[in-house]
Structure formats: C-alpha cells, structure tokens
C-alpha cells in the first residue's frame, strides 16, 4: 500500500514536471524539408501537435487555432544537437579530485545564461552540457533542451535522456595531477586510475549485493558512496561514457579497458587522432565527436586533420561535430559543411554530423535528430540550404514552441540583470571562451579580481 501511494506521488511529481515545459502546435508550410532519415522533400509541410511531429506531407491543413509558418523557399531541418558544450553551467570542473563520478552538471544548470539564446539563433535545440576535462573521471553531464526563458533549471532538462559522464585522458588530467601533486601524472597513471576505480566499483557492487541478499534483520550496511554508485551504473550500462581524448594510443587504451570491464557505450570527444584508429573504433562500436578543423592548441593536438570526420564516417564510425564553445555553437552548420570540402561527404552525411549522429551518441535518437512523425518537434528553419555559407537561421523550435525568430530578435535577451552592473561594460564575447574545459580548475586569482583591467 505504501509503495502504491508513493508511486502515485511520484507519478504526480513527474506529471507536474512535464506540465511545466511548454509544448507547441504549428504548421510549417511549403518548405524544403531535410528529414535526415527519409531524404529531402520539396514543397512539403510539417504539422506539429502538442510538441510532437504529427504529419509530414503536402497540402496539410492547419487545424483550428494552429499557427501557420510560411516556409516557402526556406529549408526546414531537425534542430542541431551539440554533443559537447559548456554553456549554461555555473561551474564546469570539480577538478580537485581525479575521480568525481558523484558530481553532476544537473546541479549547476544555468537557465539564465544568454549563450543559450545565441545557440538557438544558430539553429541549436539540444546541448550536452559537459563536465570539464580536469580529471580522469569527471562529473556526470546533463543533456538539455534549450527552452530559453525559464528561470527553473529543471525546465531545460531533456526528460528521459540517458545519463552520461565525462572521462578525460592525456594532458588535461595529468596537468591537474602534476599541479596538485597527486596521481595521475602520466598517461600510464591515467590508465591505472581507470582500472583501479572500476575494480573498486566491482567490489562495492559485490558488497552491496551481499548486503541486499542478506535476509537477517540485524545486518549492517556497507558505507555508501555516491561516487561508486555512479561507477557501478557505468559498469551496468546505465551511464554512457563520453571521453575527452586526442591521441590514437590513448583512444585505443580506453577501448581495451572498457572491453576488460564489459562496458559498451562509449563516445570519444575531440578525438583528433581518431582517424588513425577508425577501423578499431568501428569494430568496438565506439562513436566520435570531433571538431571540424581546430587543433594545435597544445602538443597532443598537433597530429590532426580536417578530414577526421569524413574518414571516421567512411569507416562506419558514428561521428558528430561539436562546438565546445559558446561561439562555435552558433554556426555548427558551417562546421558540418567543412566536411564537404575536406572529405566530400554528402549533404545528408554532413548534416547527420550535427543532428542524428550526436542524438545517437546521447541516446536520444528515438526523440530527436531527424524529422519523423512521432518525434519531438525540435526544428530549425534556414533561409537557404544549411550547408551554404550564406545560410542564416530564421526560426528555431523546441517541442513545437518557437524560441528564436529572426524577425523578432530582441536585442537584450538577458533574463536576470544585476541592478548594480554597469551599462557601459556589456561583454558580448570573451577571449578565453575557447578552452572552457579547464574553467574553474584553477583557484581564484585575486590579482585579476582587483586589477579591474
């Protein structure tokens, strides 16, 4: 009885949560509809009811009260998904420990970050808000829908998306280790730390399984560890791993470690040298989320090529292109287009890099990533083909609700404003934005604070 009523309360809570996020109805008329999974359809309409794609076809009629959007001459595509983002978070790294599987970006979602609106203006509808790369096993990430305008972080959660976690190999976590005088200080140490932590998780799982199967009323529980709970969930396939990595040798190393522990769902982030081990990645079934053409910002990122995404795609590796940046996120369609110059990918292959493929990497491809009946109405409309250098996003919908419209693009999009802020010092862009992976990994610098420069 108690169980039933608590389930009922849970149900009420869940429905209350769902009720909070807005769902829209709209009929998008007469556009060129790029479905990703079912070709490109000319002069086609997309009908959205209650946040879902209800029909895709010709000459659809708008039901009573449903707004019509004329997309004549325009291109309608699935909302762009960024598999690696650090916008909309108030903290990025808990870099003080080299294993922090217990921390979660869901605790630090910042719905007030104006970068969300800027991303919407680039046709992006979902992001993977990732923990930083300061530690070997970083925190859990959070998959978000860009429901701009709410002040409640929970409204942005991609409800039902699988949990994911950030791992990191190479220079970043070893730099953290060396600066703090702790393990790991080398790539060897990284592997040892991974194996040790998973071995600890196996022991932890055994201890709790033994406790749960113990029928005695006088049993004593083992110590609880949120960190180990998460590690066990990784072992059991409930948490998908996204690993910051650059070099082929360390990419290969992690696949071996995961094979040994029986973990299957793995996406390599950045993975600039993934092209060297593309067949091995395909065989493992691992994915890669890469930059189009960005490298040489530290030693381990020199051996890179703009053909990376194309080589991976041609080898059958599920590949996406990500931003890792509040600036690149605004034109991921340009980033995808680069694979046509470097690798001759087809339109559909190139656009899948920023839609369906990242959706698969995040485990949300049953909901988003393509325009199909029954999927969420997360849609971007462009004035010309999104792979054209002249393409400008016109409208962006999440759950059928329009969050960006270039015709109604209010200049000051801030949701909260500090009354004590100075009007003169509006900062639109800051130079350090590019390497946010390491943000927060360092201690506050008082010189910068008081220098006021």
Residues binding another protein (CB under 8 A): 90-91, 93-100, 102-105, 107-108, 110, 112, 131, 139, 151-153, 180-182, 218, 220-221, 223-227, 411-412, 414, 416-423, 425-427, 430, 440, 443-453
- Strand segments, DSSP code E, in 271-419 are 287-290, 319-321, 379-382, 393-398, 401-405
Closest to another protein by CB, 183 vs 384, is 183
Report the alpha-carbon distance of residue 304 to residue 300 in Å, rounded. Answer: 9
Closest to another protein by CB, 229 vs 405, is 229
For residue 414, what are the contacts with CB-CB under 8 A and spacing of at least 6? 112, 114
**Closest CB 22 distance from another protein, rounded Å:** 16
**Closest CB 48 distance from another protein, rounded Å:** 28
Closest to another protein by CB, 407 vs 424, is 424
**Closest CB 351 distance from another protein, rounded Å:** 34
Closest to another protein by CB, 62 vs 112, is 112
Are the beta carbons of 359 and 369 closer than 8 angstroms?
Answer: yes
Rounded to 10 deg, the angle between the 171-180 and 187-213 helix axes is 90
**Closest CB 4 distance from another protein, rounded Å:** 19
Pairing verdict, β 379-382 and 26-34: unpaired
Closest to another protein by CB, 47 vs 165, is 165
**Closest CB 104 distance from another protein, rounded Å:** 7
Length of the chain equals 453
Helix (H, G, I), strand (E, B) or coil at 8: helix
Radius of gyration of the chain (CA): 23
Rounded to 10 deg, the angle between the 248-261 and 187-213 helix axes is 20
Give one DSSP letter per residue of 90-112, joined into a string: S----TTSSB-TT-BGGGGB-TT
**Closest CB 343 distance from another protein, rounded Å:** 38
Closest to another protein by CB, 176 vs 343, is 176
**Closest CB 205 distance from another protein, rounded Å:** 16
Give one DSSP letter per residue of 169-207, joined into a string: -SHHHHHHHHHHT-S-SSHHHHHHHHHHHHHHHHHHHHH
The pair of structure tokens assigned to 201 is: 């998780």
Closest to another protein by CB, 347 vs 435, is 435
The strand pairing partners of 128, in sequence order, are: 143
Would you give the DSSP letter of residue 157? B
**Closest CB 108 distance from another protein, rounded Å:** 5
The pair of structure tokens assigned to 344 is: 């001759």
Closest to another protein by CB, 197 vs 308, is 197
């Amino acid at each position: 009885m108690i169980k039933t009523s608590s389930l009922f309360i849970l149900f009420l809570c869940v429905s209350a949560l769902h009720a909070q996020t807005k769902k829209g109805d709209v009929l998008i008329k007469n556009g060129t509809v790029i479905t990703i999974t079912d070709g490109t359809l000319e002069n086609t309409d997309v009908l959205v009811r209650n946040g879902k794609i209800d029909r895709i076809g010709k000459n659809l009629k708008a039901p009573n009260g449903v707004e019509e959007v004329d997309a004549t001459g325009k291109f309608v595509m699935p909302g762009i998904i960024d598999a690696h983002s650090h916008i909309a978070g108030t903290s990025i790294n808990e870099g003080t420990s080299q294993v922090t599987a217990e921390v979660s970006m869901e605790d630090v979602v910042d719905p007030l970050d104006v970068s969300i609106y800027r991303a919407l203006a680039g046709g992006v509808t979902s992001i993977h808000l990732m923990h930083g790369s300061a530690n070997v096993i970083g925190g859990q990430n959070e998959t978000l829908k860009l429901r701009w305008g709410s002040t409640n972080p929970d409204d942005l959660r991609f409800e039902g998306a699988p949990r994911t976690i950030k791992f990191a190999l190479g220079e970043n976590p070893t730099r953290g280790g060396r600066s703090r005088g702790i393990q790991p200080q080398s790539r060897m140490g990284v592997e040892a730390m991974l194996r040790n932590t998973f071995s600890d998780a196996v022991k932890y799982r055994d201890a709790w399984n033994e406790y749960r199967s113990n029928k005695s009323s006088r049993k004593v529980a083992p110590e609880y560890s949120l960190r180990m709970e998460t590690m066990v969930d990784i072992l059991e396939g409930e948490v998908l791993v996204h690993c910051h990595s650059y070099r082929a040798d360390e990419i290969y190393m992690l696949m071996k470690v995961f094979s040994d522990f029986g973990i299957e769902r793995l996406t390599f982030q950045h993975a600039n040298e993934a092209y060297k081990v593309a067949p091995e990645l395909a065989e493992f079934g691992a994915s890669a989320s890469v930059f189009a053409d960005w490298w040489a910002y530290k030693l381990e990122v020199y051996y890179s090529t703009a053909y990376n995404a194309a080589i991976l795609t041609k080898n059958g590796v599920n590949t996406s292109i990500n931003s890792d940046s509040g600036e690149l996120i605004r034109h991921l369609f340009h980033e995808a287009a680069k694979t046509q110059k470097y690798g001759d990918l087809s339109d559909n292959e190139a656009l899948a890099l920023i839609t369906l493929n990242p959706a698969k990497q995040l485990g949300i491809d049953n909901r988003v990533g393509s325009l199909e009946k029954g999927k969420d109405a997360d849609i971007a409309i462009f004035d010309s083909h999104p792979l054209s250098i002249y393409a400008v996003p016109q409208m962006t919908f999440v759950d059928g609700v329009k969050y960006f419209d270039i015709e109604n693009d209010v200049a000051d999009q801030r949701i909260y404003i500090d009354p004590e802020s100075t009007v003169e010092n509006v900062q639109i862009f800051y130079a350090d934005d590019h390497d946010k992976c390491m943000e927060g990994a360092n201690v506050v610098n008082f010189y910068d604070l008081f220098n006021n420069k």
